Structure 1
Amino acid sequence: MSELDVSTIDLDADVHSVRLEATNHEGCFLGKNLAPKKFCAGAASGFAMADLLFGLDLGNAPTFGFSFPDWRGHVSDLTFRPDMSTLVQWEPGLHSVIGDYWQADGSPVGTCPRNLTRRLVERLTTRGFTATIAVEIEATVFEESIQEARAKAYRDLTPLGGSAGTAYHLAKSKDWVDYMSAVARRLDEIGIEWEAWSDEDAAGQVELNLVPGSPISVCDNWARARQVMREVAFDRGHTVTFMAKPTAGYGQASHLNLSLKRDGANMFYAPDGPSTTMRHAVGGLLATIRGATSVMLPQITSYRRLVDMSGPPTTVSWGIANKSTAVRAVCGHPAYSRLEYRLPGADANLYLAVAVILAGVIAGLDGELEPPEAVSDLAWCVPDLERLPDTITKAAAALADDLILREHLGDEFVDYWVGTRRWEWMQFHTTGGDPFAELSEWESARYFEFP
C-alpha cells in the first residue's frame, strides 16, 4: 500500500496527536498516541504493536499453558490498521481512530475481536440478511476519585447519587444527574447517538442505551462510550466500573437486542407471533448458549451474578416477553420485533459477544433448528430447565466441546479463548483469590478498572 499524506486525511490544523483504539480479547480498550505526521505516513500500511496486547492477562502476566497461535511469537509485532471511517475529533487537538489487528502476511489475527465480528457479519450477508443490534450499557459510579478508590482497594466505596437502588428512581442527588448529563454531552460531541439513560437497580448504577445500528458500528460506539464514561468520571473526581459485580449487591449486565432484515423487511416479524426466521434463530442461540456462556461471562466474578430471581438468566430458556429467560422474544410489531439476548455481563467484550450471537443465529438459520417450548412462567428455580454453566471452567469446557461455535468462530479463537479462561481460573486459585468470599479482594483488584 502507498503512504498517505496529510492532505488525504481529514485532520484539523491544530491536531497535536491521533489516538489508535481497539479492544483486546479481554475487552480492554488499548492503543497509543501518534504525532500527526507519523499517523499520516503509516495510516495505509499500519502500525506495529507487540503481540503482548493479546498475550497478557488482566494482572499483566503472560498467559501460558496452552498452544499459541501462529501470530504469537517471542514478543513479535502485529499490525494495527486504522479504519478511517471511524476517525473523529475526540477533543480539541486530539483525534482518535478505531482499527483492527493483522499478521505480517496480511491475514487477520484470529483473536482480534473486531475482525471476528466482521467475519460473522459477512457470513450473515452471504445468506441475504443484515443485522441490526442495540446494546444496554450498565455501570456503577462512585463518589470517590480513582486515586481514592485505588487507596481503598476498590472496597467500601460510596455510590454516587445516594443509596436508593430502585430502577428508574428520579430522587437522585444532583451529582449523579450531572455526571450522566456530562456523559450524554460528550457522546453528542463525538457523534455517538444515544437513546436513553436511567437509574438501574443497584445504588450508584446507571444504564445507557445506544441507538441501534449495524454490528460493527454499535460495537465501536460501545467501546468509545465506555471510555467516555471513564473520562467524565475522572474529570469530575469520581470513578466508574463495568465490573460484573463490583459490590455484594446487584450485578451488571450488557443486554443485546438483535433483529434481521432481508430486502428492508424485518424477518423476525409475523402477525401471529415469532416468525419462522425468529424461531430458527432462537433454536441456534439455545443450541450454542452453553458454550457461548464463556464469552458472555468472561471473568471469575461474572458467575457471581448467576443467582436465581436476581435478574440474570440461569437456565437454557427462551420466552415471549419473558425477562427471566436467557433469550427474550419481542413479537408483533413490523419494526420492533427482535430478540433480546440477556446473558452477557457488563464485563463482556461486545465485539466477541456479537460474533458469538451471530454464529448461533447463522447455525439456526442454516440448520432450520427449532427451539424447545417457550417458557411462559418464571425461568428461575425450575428443575426441568437445563442450567447454564455457573463457573468459568464449566463454561470454558462447554465452549471447547461446542462444534457449532468452533465451525463459525474457528479453532484458533476457541482454543486460545478457552486457554485464557483456564489460565484465569488458575491465577484466581494460586495468587490470592478466595472462592468462599462473596466478593474477594483479588477480584476487586483485578476487575474493577479492567476491562
Structure 2
Amino acid sequence: MKSHASTLLAEVRTFRQNHPDVRYVDLIALDIPGHFYGKRYPVEMLEKVAAGGPLKLPQNAVLLGTQGGLFKIGDYCFNDGDPDANRRLVPGTLKPVSWESQPLGQMLITSDGTEAPIEFEPREVLAKVLERLHHKGIHPVVAFELEFYLFDRKLDNGLPQYARDPLSNDADDQPNLHIERLSRFSQVLDDMAQTAKDQGIDITVITAELGPGQFEINFGHLDDGLRAADWAALFCRSTRGVALKHGYRASFMAKPYLQFPGSGMHVHVSLYDGAGNNLLAAHQQQPLRHAVAGCLELLPHCMPIFSPNHNAFRRLGGTVNAATRASWGFEDRDACVRIPESDPRNLRIEHRLASADANPYLVLAAILAGLEHGLEAKREPITPLNEDRTSGADFPLEMLDAVRAMQHHPVVRDKLGAEFVDVYCENKRQDHLAFQQEINAREYRWFL
C-alpha cells in the first residue's frame, strides 16, 4: 500500500514540476449514462490524496440520469441518506487539459480497488469481469474504434448544422469517404489526435466516414481492458473540448441524421492464455466459434448497454452496416460480430453493435461476458452471413422491451452482477420514461 501511495505521490509531484501554472485538477469518473462527474481539486490537496488521504464522493453520483437528475432506484437516492463512498486515483491518468481557457489538469478516479467498491459503478463492473477472466487464465487484448460527427458550433433552433469546410467555408453536407476531407479538416483533427496522445491515448488510424462531417478514430490494442475503456472515455471528453476550441461541436450521438449513417463503437477483442497463445485460434478455431455463439446468445439481453438511449435505437438497421438481428460473419461489416481476416496470432472478434455514445466500460464488460459464456457453454453458433444472408437472431428494438429482456436473464445477472443489472435497468427505464414527458412540435402538428 505504501508503494502504491509513493508511486501516486511521485506522479503528482512530477506533474506539478512540469506544469507549475496548473492550480486545479478535475478528478473525474464515468456514471451509468456515460457522462463524467467529479470534483475540481486544488493541486496541493491532490498531493494529500495521493499520499493516502481520503477521497470521497456521493455514491449516488453514479446513478445520475442522462439529464443529471436522480431517480428512485430501490433504496438508493432517496431512502439511503445519500452516503459518500470512497474513490481512489487511477495511476497514470494525471494529464494536462489543453482545451480549457485556463491551465488545468484532470485525473481519473474509481471505486474499484477500494475497500467497498460501488457494485454498479461502470468501471467496477468491468474490473470484476476482467478479474474473473484472469483467474481463469484468460487475458483479453482490446482495441476500441469510435465514430463521431462534427457540427457547426451554433445550433439552428436547437438543431445541428453541418460543419463548415474551413477551406471553402461551405457546409460539409455531402456524404462521402474522400481522403481530401481529412486534409480540409486537418487542423481540428490533428489537434484532437495530439490532445488524445497528450492524455496518454494511443491514436492510430483516422478515417473520413460516410456521413457529412463524420470521422472515425482507432486506438491501439491493449492488454489492459480497463485502460482501453479509459482511453475511449477520455477521448470523448477531450474531443468535445478540442472541437469547441476550433468552432465546432463534436458529438458521439448515435443517430444525429436519419438519412445518414449513425455512429458506432466497434470493439476488437482477442483472448490469450498466460503463455501468450491465442485461445480463439486453438483446435481449428473451435473456441472462436464457441465465443461467437456466446456473444450472440447474450446480445439480445444486453441491448440497454449497447443502445443506451432512445436515439441509439434509431441507428439500428437504418442505413449502412448497422444490423437489426444478432449475426456474425467473416470479413462482413453487416454482422454484429465480425471476424476480421488475420493470422492465428491476431485472430479476434470485432463487436460492431454498440453506439458511439454507449458506456465503454459496460460495453466491454458485456462483450467479455458473452465470450466467457460461449467458451463455457461450448455451443455452435448460428450460420454466418457469408453462408446465409438471412441468418440472425432477433433482439429488442425498443428500450422498455430491451430492459425486460436484460433484467431477469440469469447469465447476464451472474456475469455482470445482479445488483448492477437491477440498478442499470431501472436507471434506463426511468430515463426512457422521463424522455417521454415532453410534448414536441411534431406531436402538436399531428394531433392538435
Pick the TM interval, shorter chain. 0.7 to 0.9
Query: Deviations along 1:240-269, whole A, 9 cap, x unmatched?
Result: 111111122321100111101111122222
* Matches for 1:414-433 after TM superposition, within 5 Å: 414-432=421-439
Query: Deviations along 1:126-163, whole A, 9 cap, x unmatched?
Result: 11111011111111001x22xx23x631x141234412
C-alpha distance 282-173 of structure 1, shift in aligned 2 (>3 A): closer
1:202 paired with 2:211, answer yes
Q: Which of residues 32, 45, 48 in structure 1 aligns to 2:39?
A: 32
For the Cα contact (< 8 Å) 1:291–1:401, is it kept in 2? no
Query: Deviations along 1:24-53, whole A, 9 cap, x unmatched?
Result: 111112222211221111232442222342
Query: Deviations along 1:44-99, whole A, 9 cap, x unmatched?
Result: 244222234223312232213x4245998233222221112322344495332212
SS at match of 1:240: strand
Q: Which amino acid aligns with 2:187?
A: D
Alpha-carbon shift at residue 353 of structure 1 (Å): 0.5
Alpha-carbon shift at residue 434 of structure 1 (Å): 8.4
The answer to which of 88-97 and 191-200 deviates more is 88-97
* Matches for 1:155-304 after TM superposition, within 5 Å: 155-161=159-165, 162-167=172-177, 169-172=178-181, 176-213=185-222, 214-248=224-258, 249-262=260-273, 263-269=275-281, 275-304=285-314
**Which residue of structure 1 lines up, in the alignment, with residue 15 of structure 2?**
11
Q: Which amino acid aligns with 1:48?
A: K
Alpha-carbon shift at residue 435 of structure 1 (Å): 9.6
**Which residue of structure 2 lines up, in the alignment, with residue 376 of structure 1?**
386
Alpha-carbon shift at residue 414 of structure 1 (Å): 0.4
**Identity level (%):** 24
**Which residue of structure 2 lines up, in the alignment, with residue 444 of structure 1?**
none
C-alpha distance 50-181 of structure 1, shift in aligned 2 (>3 A): same
C-alpha distance 385-79 of structure 1, shift in aligned 2 (>3 A): same
C-alpha distance 372-285 of structure 1, shift in aligned 2 (>3 A): same
C-alpha distance 102-176 of structure 1, shift in aligned 2 (>3 A): same
Q: Which amino acid aligns with 2:118?
A: V
**Which residue of structure 1 lines up, in the alignment, with residue 168 of structure 2?**
none
For the Cα contact (< 8 Å) 1:170–1:199, is it kept in 2? yes
C-alpha distance 203-71 of structure 1, shift in aligned 2 (>3 A): same
Q: Structure 2: how far apart are the matches of 1:108 and 1:72?
A: 20
C-alpha distance 353-156 of structure 1, shift in aligned 2 (>3 A): closer
Q: Structure 2: how far apart are the matches of 1:436 and 1:202?
A: 28
Q: Which amino acid aligns with 1:256?
A: V
For the Cα contact (< 8 Å) 1:258–1:339, is it kept in 2? yes
Query: Deviations along 1:403-451, whole A, 9 cap, x unmatched?
Result: 11100111110001110111122112223368989xxxxxxxxxxxxxx
Q: Structure 2: how far apart are the matches of 1:62 and 1:33?
A: 21
Q: Structure 2: how far apart are the matches of 1:51 and 1:189?
A: 30
TM-score, length-scaled by structure 2: 0.87
**Which residue of structure 2 lines up, in the alignment, with residue 119 of structure 1?**
128
SS at match of 1:260: strand
For the Cα contact (< 8 Å) 2:33–2:359, is it kept in 1? yes
**Which residue of structure 2 lines up, in the alignment, with residue 137 of structure 1?**
146
**Which residue of structure 1 lines up, in the alignment, with residue 64 of structure 2?**
56
For the Cα contact (< 8 Å) 1:197–1:209, is it kept in 2? yes
For the Cα contact (< 8 Å) 1:254–1:345, is it kept in 2? yes
- Alignment RMSD (CA, Å): 2.7
Q: Structure 2: how far apart are the matches of 1:334 and 1:72?
A: 53
Alpha-carbon shift at residue 6 of structure 1 (Å): 5.7
Aligned residues: 424
Query: Deviations along 1:333-382, whole A, 9 cap, x unmatched?
Result: 12331101111001110000011111111111122232222221574xx3
For the Cα contact (< 8 Å) 1:300–1:424, is it kept in 2? no
TM-score, length-scaled by structure 1: 0.87
Q: Structure 2: how far apart are the matches of 1:198 and 1:51?
A: 39
For the Cα contact (< 8 Å) 2:59–2:118, is it kept in 1? no
Q: Which amino acid aligns with 1:124?
A: L
Q: Structure 2: how far apart are the matches of 1:121 and 1:239?
A: 34
For the Cα contact (< 8 Å) 1:325–1:378, is it kept in 2? no
Segments of 5+ residues of structure 1 without an aligned counterpart are 438-451
Q: Structure 2: how far apart are the matches of 1:198 and 1:436?
A: 38
C-alpha distance 431-46 of structure 1, shift in aligned 2 (>3 A): farther
C-alpha distance 221-160 of structure 1, shift in aligned 2 (>3 A): farther
Q: Structure 1: how far apart are the matches of 2:161 and 2:193?
A: 24
C-alpha distance 195-69 of structure 1, shift in aligned 2 (>3 A): same
**Which residue of structure 2 lines up, in the alignment, with residue 88 of structure 1?**
95
SS at match of 2:147: strand
Q: Structure 2: how far apart are the matches of 1:179 and 1:130?
A: 36
Q: Structure 1: how far apart are the matches of 2:443 and 2:380?
A: 40
C-alpha distance 436-176 of structure 1, shift in aligned 2 (>3 A): farther
Q: Structure 2: how far apart are the matches of 1:251 and 1:71?
A: 37
Alpha-carbon shift at residue 175 of structure 1 (Å): 5.1
Alpha-carbon shift at residue 102 of structure 1 (Å): 6.4
